[in-house]
Amino acid sequence: MVQEPVVRIQGVSKKIGSKTLIDNLTLDIPPGQVYGFLGPNGSGKTTTIRMMVGLMSITQGDILIQGSSIKSDFERAVSHVGAIVENPEMYKFLTGYQNMVHYARMSPGITRERIMEAVERVGMQHRIHDKVKTYSLGMRQRLGVAQAILHRPKLLVLDEPTNGLDPQGIRELRDYLRILAKEEGTTVFVSSHLLSEMELMCDTVAVIQQGRLIDVKELNHGDAPADGQRETAFDVDHPAQALELIGAGRIEGSSLIVAVDRSAAAAINAKLVMAGISVYGIRVVTRSLEDQFLEMTGGGHIG
Amino acid sequence: MGDFLKLVQNENMKIYRRLRTWIMFAILVLLMMLFGVLFYMGSSSSPIGAWDAVDQLSFLYFLVSIFSVVVAADIVAAEFTWGTIKLLLVRPWTRTKILVSKLLAVLLFTLAMSAVYLLANMAVSFLLFPDIQSGVFPKGSGGPLGYIMEDLLYNYIDLLVITIFAFMVSTVFRTSGLAIGLSMFILFAGNIFTMLFHPTRYAWAKYMLFVNMDLGQYRGGQVGPAGMTLGFSAAVLTGYVLAFLLIAWFVFKKRDVAA
């Protein structure tokens, strides 16, 4: 991927008084991805996002969105952004549709048709003329997404979007974000402290702790290159015997674990079967993001 | 970038789509009718003319001041209370433009409310007291209408100052309650302050906001206490209003929006 990053966070720091909330953060976000921003509570995720969308001032450094500085060319930079920071906020005394109109008036060239298109995308067309005060949180979340994508932003920023959603709502949102990234090429930048969720949703995850970037990880959703060496577990009836036969790897419970590629895994299977060892299962061992995350952040202590 | 008037349109929508706003208009019109009828019943022995009724009913303009203050006190603070301020600030408009659009919407509201006040007042007065002859108003100087309009202008300026003060407090403290409270305090305690610190006794007192708010005191070229003139008071009021606006603008522009 040699495409120009959608967002460039360049040496950004945020200090309030003597407290440093964000310390010299540098991060490029490539286009067309669902990009996760992961960190324990109080690590500076929300602060970073607030600086990205102009809600907070930047003490040091700069953030470029599509090449425009959020500091010196705010209107142009933020015109590429759709954002929901924390809860989706609405005017409760207006209807959903009036809320959409309110939002649409703030961006150039949005037609009535476009509003209805966005509303239908999130499946809100049947309730759109009801007052927002009658909506559930899940419905407000959907309307929030409809607003945020109304002007077809290059970058969609979502801060803890699944907070308070039920499992079905989370799943819908997740699927929807992936579609948005794949079909419309929108870059989605999403923060969360829920690891399992990020694992399902994101292409890449940046991990932040105490205001510092500690790692950037690409996640593969089972469609990783087939020729890589991966830890593979063979579930067998006599692991010790299998280890002796193969001469490599280690034993965990009733499994023999070897780092091999796909063809070698098949060969080992054949060898085991030939030797009269029953193979009950073969699977690739993936360490969950949670394991990796806890490893990196040392248990995720606050502060 | 886009059309600035659409921002004002948004602010107007948020004012007039609220039931509260229509209750304010209804209270104004109903009280006007109520007091008109009371005057009508009380004037059976000594009849008054329509213009006299207009003048007498003009005390109800304080309602317009109060409602304007309520709207101004709410227009920024409410966005913070609702969390919707984030919605406004992450769109491609500078904070200055957002704030100016809100100020314009407030000013339009004060004009609309003043217009409704005037229409209701005239309608009630001329319907109940169709006898247009008036013994109270002096001849010349534009007649009764001119007098009423001049009076209204002074009252409107007074309203503007206090409304912009409420707008500032709302922006700085993000709580409408404080903005309404402080504005009402100025509105009603102004006379007490003027008595305590009268410009004839303290030289600095003539620069206080309170003593300059009533421009009606200079009507017909009169000179106020301690040599104050219409030009002087107008300049002092302008100074205060500019200061209120600058403070509101500066704070709104610099504030980090958290929570």
Q: Where are the beta strands (DSSP E) in chain A?
A: 7-16, 19-29, 34-38, 60-65, 68-69, 81-84, 155-159, 187-192, 204-209, 212-218, 230-236, 250-252, 255-260, 279-284
Q: For strand A204-209 and strand A34-38, is the pairing parallel, antiparallel, or unpaired? A: parallel
Nearest chain B CA: its distance from A194 CA (Å): 20
Out of 3.30.70, 1.10.260, 3.40.50, 1.20.1530, the CATH code matching A221-303 is 3.30.70
CA distance A19 to A193: 22
Rounded to the nearest 10 degrees, how much is the dihedral formed by the CA atoms of A15, A16, A17, A21? Answer: -60
The CA distances from residue B1 to A72, A78, A221, B106, in Å, are: 15, 12, 41, 23
Contact A106 B93 (CB under 8 A): yes
pLDDT at A219: 80
Q: Which of A57-71, A260-274, B43-57, B207-221 has the highest mean pLDDT?
A: A57-71
Contacts of A60 (CB under 8 A, 6+ apart): A11, A12, A13, A15, A24
First to last CA, chain B: 28
pLDDT at A299: 54
First to last CA, chain A: 35
| Closest residue in chain A to residue B19, using alpha carbons only | A93
CA distance A178 to A155: 13
For the record, the structure tokens of A219 come out as 């996640």
- 3-state SS, one letter per residue, for A175-189: HHHHHHHHHHCCEEE
Cβ atoms of A195 and A162 within 8 Å: the answer is: no
CA distance A124 to A97: 10
Q: What is the DSSP string of A232-297?
A: EEEEES-HHHHHHHH--SEEETTEEEEEE-HHHHHHHHHHHHHTT--EEEEEE----HHHHHHHHH
**Residue A23 class from Cβ within 10 Å (0-12 exposed, 13-18 middle, 19+ buried)?**
middle
Mean of the per-residue pLDDT values of chain B:
90
CA distance A92 to B63: 27
Contacts of A143 (CB under 8 A, 6+ apart): A88, A90, A96, A99, A100, A119, A122, A124, A132, A135
Candidates B8, B19, B91, partner chain A, best to mutate (most A CBs within 10 A): B91
pLDDT at B189: 85
Contact B258 A50 (CB under 8 A): yes
Contact A74 B92 (CB under 8 A): yes
Neighbouring CB atoms inside 10 A of A233's CB total 18
Tokens 């992936």 locate to: A178
Residues in chain B closer than 8 A to A92 (CB atoms): 82
Buried b (16+ CB within 10 A) or exposed e, A258-268: bebeeeebeeb
CA angle A85, A88, A90 (to 5 degrees): 125
Which element (helix H / strand E) includes B148?
helix B143-173
Query: Chain B contact for A76, CB < 8 A?
Result: yes
> Domain spans of chain A?
7-218, 221-303
Q: Which residues pair with residue A188 across a beta bridge?
A: A34, A156
pLDDT at A3: 73
Query: Among B48, B37, B43, B36, which residue's Cα sits nearest to residue B134?
Result: B48
CA distance A13 to A61: 6
Q: Is B196 helix (H, G, I), strand (E, B) or coil?
A: helix
For the record, the structure tokens of A147 come out as 């607003």
pLDDT at A302: 42
Question: In A, residues 86-145, which contact B (CB 8 Å cutoff)?
Answer: 86-87, 89-94, 98, 101-103, 105-108
Q: What is the pLDDT of residues B86-137, one digit of tens each?
A: 999 999 999 999 999 999 999 999 999 999 999 999 999 989 888 766 666 6
Cβ atoms of A269 and A279 within 8 Å: the answer is: yes
Cβ atoms of A150 and A118 within 8 Å: the answer is: yes
Nearest chain B CA: its distance from A171 CA (Å): 25
Question: In B, residues 64-123, which contact A (CB 8 Å cutoff)?
Answer: 82-84, 86-94
Percentage of chain B beyond pLDDT 70 is 94
Contact A106 B2 (CB under 8 A): yes
For the record, the structure tokens of B79 come out as 């966005």
CA distance B55 to B5: 37
pLDDT at A285: 77
Query: Chain A contact for B16, CB < 8 A?
Result: no
Class of domain A7-218: alpha beta
For the record, the structure tokens of A254 come out as 């009733």
pLDDT at A87: 82
Contact B10 A102 (CB under 8 A): yes
CA angle A135, A137, A143 (to 5 degrees): 70
Q: What is the DSSP string of B32-90?
A: HHHHHHHHHHHTSSS---HHHHHHHHGGGHHHHHHHHHHHHHHHTHHHHHHTTHHHHHT
List chain A residues with pLDDT less than 70.
Answer: 1-2, 220-228, 287-303
CA distance A300 to B104: 49
Contact B83 A87 (CB under 8 A): yes
Neighbouring CB atoms inside 10 A of A251's CB total 13
Q: What is the pLDDT of residues B148-194, one digit of tens each?
A: 899 999 999 999 999 999 999 999 999 899 999 999 988 888 888 88
Query: Chain A contact for B14, CB < 8 A?
Result: yes
Q: What is the pLDDT of residues A89-146, one digit of tens each?
A: 899 999 999 999 999 999 988 999 999 999 998 889 999 999 999 998 888 988 999 9
| Closest residue in chain A to residue B8, using alpha carbons only | A105
Tokens 């280690």 locate to: A250
Query: Chain B contact for A68, CB < 8 A?
Result: no
Contact B90 A93 (CB under 8 A): no
Contact B17 A94 (CB under 8 A): yes
Residues in chain B closer than 8 A to A164 (CB atoms): none
Tell me A135's DSSP state.
-
Closest to B14 (Cβ–Cβ): which among A55, A74, A91?
A91
Residues in chain A closer than 8 A to B87 (CB atoms): 89, 103, 147
Whether residue B42 has pLDDT greater than 70? yes
Query: Chain A contact for B2, CB < 8 A?
Result: yes
